[in-house]
Amino acid sequence: MRAREGTARRYAKALHMIALESGSAPAVGQELAAFLGVLTAEPEARDALTRPWIKAGDRRGIAVAVARKAGCGKLVQDFLGLVAERGRMDHLPEIVPAFQTLVDEDLGQARAQVRSAVALTDEEKRQLGARLERALGKRILLEEHVDSTLLGGFVAQVGSLILDGSLDGQLARMRERLARG
Amino acid sequence: MSRVLATAALLLALLPSLALASESGGGLINLDKSLIIQMVNFGLLLLLLGKLLYRPLVGKMEERALAIRKSLDEAQAARAEAQRERDEHAAKIQAAHAEAQAIRAAALKEAAEEQRRLVDAARAEAGRLVESARAEMTQDVRRAKQELRQEVSDLVIAVAERVIKKSLRDEDHRRIVADAIARVEKVG
């Protein structure tokens, strides 16, 4: 798992350097996210790009075609073609966040992954974002999704920092206290 | 012995005189020239007897006395030797008794020492076993308590989760989120 993340980070760094030179890093991030969305929605395309018995040249052609269809620019098309050709398309779910992190660091911002039991209202998102910005001293981009396994509240993760405001966390802490006596 | 021999010689000397007297029809002893002959005869007989009988007899008697004395001496020596050996044996028996007594005392002492050592070892082992059993029991009790606490806490939390899931309304969710948001700055 660590080796996989290391590989993903190397690809992300290389793309980030080229994107910085062309000054299109945020756009590249969005294009990558769009491509990843297409792959998630189209499992056949994902399978075709990750199966090792499909020729490297064919994988590259498919990746470039899908990227073009997803509206990606030349840089992202070439990058995805290279990733597919090298047989690393299965690393894309790790490459995209790693790239986003690098772009966010450039822009002095961070992404907060928020899992909540019920959808947060706009006011709650605003308040949470503002408080996180004050606490961490950088702009926060909230990425929220509803997790029905949570009882109540939310869990926010910014990089390695995890803020547990869920009922599940409180109950888990209570269970530990009870078990300790 | 010599008295017996002298009496015998006198009787022998008187026998011819008695015989002569009976032949002549006179007394027991006739004071005539036969008396001289008889005396000479007696003297010769005495010499002869002394030479042939008395001396060898005396020699034999002395030899016998010497042998008896020697035997007595030897018997005395044997008795002394026997006494010495008896004393020696008695001393040896005494020494053996003393040695046996010493061995017995040493064996008893060693046995007592061994017994004490065994008792000490058994006592120490028993103490160790008791301590080990006590520690194990304490550990078991602690583990059982921990397991019980864990089970109780799991049960309590499971019940709480079920109750919370059923009873939470939207306003409760909003309040929980608001509380969590309010705690964010403190965490930061």
CB of A117 closer than 8 Å to CB of B169: no
Of B12 and A73, which is predicted with more confidence? A73
Amino acid identity for residue A152 in this structure: G
Q: What is the mean pLDDT of residues A35-41?
A: 89
pLDDT digits (tens, 9 = 90+) for B15-74: 555 455 445 545 566 677 888 888 899 999 999 998 888 888 999 999 999 999 999 999
Q: What is the mean pLDDT of residues B146-166?
A: 90
Question: What percent of chain B has a predicted confidence (pLDDT) above 90?
Answer: 55
The dihedrals phi and psi of A23, each to the nearest 5 degrees, come to 70, 30
Q: In 10 A of CB A167, how many CB atoms?
A: 23
Query: Closest partner residue to A167 among B150, B164, B174, by Cβ?
Result: B164
Query: Closest partner residue to B157 among A116, A128, A175, by Cβ?
Result: A175
Angle between helices B33-49 and B2-24 (to 10 degrees): 150
For an interface test with B, give the residue of A175, A176, A180 to mutate (most B CBs within 10 A). A175
What residues of B are in contact with residue A175 (Cβ under 8 Å)?
153-154, 156-157
Q: Is B177 a residue whose pLDDT tops 80?
A: yes
Query: Closest partner residue to B180 among A165, A174, A179, by Cβ?
Result: A165
Q: What is the separation, in whole angstroms, between the first and last Cα of chain A?
A: 37
pLDDT at B38: 86
What residues of B are in contact with residue A163 (Cβ under 8 Å)?
180, 184, 187
Task: Please count the residues of chain B.
Answer: 188
Rounded to the nearest angstrom, the minimum Cα separation between B167 and chain A is: 11
Inter-chain CB proximity B172 and A180 less than 8 Å? no
pLDDT at B28: 62
Strand-strand pairing, A109-116 and A153-158: antiparallel
Query: Closest partner residue to B184 among A116, A118, A128, by Cβ?
Result: A128
pLDDT at A26: 86
pLDDT digits (tens, 9 = 90+) for A15-35: 999 999 888 888 999 999 999
Inter-chain CB proximity B181 and A124 less than 8 Å? yes
Reduced to 3 states (helix: H, G, I; strand: E, B; else coil), residue A49 is helix
CB of A173 closer than 8 Å to CB of A131: no
Which of A165-174, B25-34, B177-186 has the highest average model confidence (pLDDT)?
Answer: A165-174
Inter-chain CB proximity A171 and B165 less than 8 Å? no
CB of B47 closer than 8 Å to CB of B72: no
pLDDT at B12: 55
Reduced to 3 states (helix: H, G, I; strand: E, B; else coil), residue A155 is strand
Rounded to the nearest angstrom, the minimum Cα separation between B162 and chain A is: 9
Question: What percent of chain A has a predicted confidence (pLDDT) above 90?
Answer: 47
Confidence band, pLDDT 50/70/90 cuts, at residue A161: confident
B173 to chain A: nearest residue by CA? Answer: A152
Inter-chain CB proximity B170 and A118 less than 8 Å? yes
A149 to chain B: nearest residue by CA? Answer: B165
Q: Is the ipTM of this complex over 0.85?
A: no
Spatial distance between the Cα atoms of B39 and B54, rounded to a whole number of angstroms: 19
Inter-chain CB proximity A163 and B168 less than 8 Å? no
Task: Please count the residues of chain A.
Answer: 181
What residues of A are in contact with residue B153 (Cβ under 8 Å)?
174-176, 178-179
Q: Which of B187, B167, B170 minimizes the C-alpha distance to A164?
A: B187
pLDDT digits (tens, 9 = 90+) for A85-122: 999 989 999 999 899 989 988 888 888 999 999 999 99
What residues of B are in contact with residue A178 (Cβ under 8 Å)?
149, 152-153, 156-157
Residue A15 pairs with which residues in a beta bridge? none
Pick left, alpha or beta for residue B11 (phi over 0 → left; psi -120 to 50 → alpha; otherwise beta): alpha
Inter-chain CB proximity B173 and A124 less than 8 Å? no
Q: Which residues contact B170 (CB under 8 A, 6 or more apart)?
A: A118
Instruction: Order the strands of the A109-116 sheet from edge to edge.
Output: A139-146, A109-116, A153-158, A161-166
Inter-chain CB proximity A132 and B188 less than 8 Å? yes
Q: What is the mean pLDDT of residues B118-147?
A: 94
Report field, pTM of the whole predicted structure over 0.80: no
Amino acid identity for residue B165 in this structure: K
Structure tokens at B169: 């309304």
Pick left, alpha or beta for residue A87 (phi over 0 → left; psi -120 to 50 → alpha; otherwise beta): left
